[in-house]
Amino acid sequence: MWIRWPADFRYRHFDPRHAALAPKNTEKESQIVDNCIFCKIAAGKIPAKTVYEDDDVIAFHDIHPAAPVHVLIVPREHIPTLADANEKHTALLGRMMVLAPKLAAELGGGYRHTPEGPMGGFKTLVNSGPDGGQEVYHLHLHVMGGPRPWRSER
């Protein structure tokens, strides 16, 4: 006899990365945040090659860069995925997007207009969920740039 499980059963019951799908439990949620590597980096408990920080975000070099310039912009607030963001996060998400080209330019991966035409450039990427390729369940924006070819893109 086959048992028909709900589509999200695996995530709710076996995969701790999917806190948004788990039953709401304050103690469980605080454990996930306490075990979040990006929360620890933002709190200064784990070192990182920081390139920018303010009260709302921190930006640091990716430990496995996929491009000559590859930094992560991470909100200090623990938001598991982009799908978990809501209207109260609008300003924060906007600040992250405005910061991306500034950091890319400062680190040598910026986009610019020249008499010969457009030069340089960068890419932004947010992975969300397992099928979106998310590995760390704390929202983060990848900023990648620099001369091509890059190694395998994420």
Output the pTM of the full model: 0.77
Cα(46)–Cα(136) distance, integer angstroms: 15
CB–CB of 97/124 below 8 Å? yes
Count of CB atoms situated within 10 Å of the CB of 58: 22
Closest CA to 38 of 76, 71, 69, 65: 76
Q: Which residues are catalytic?
A: 140
Per-residue pLDDT tens digits for 9-57:
444 434 444 444 444 444 434 445 878 999 999 999 999 999 999 999 9
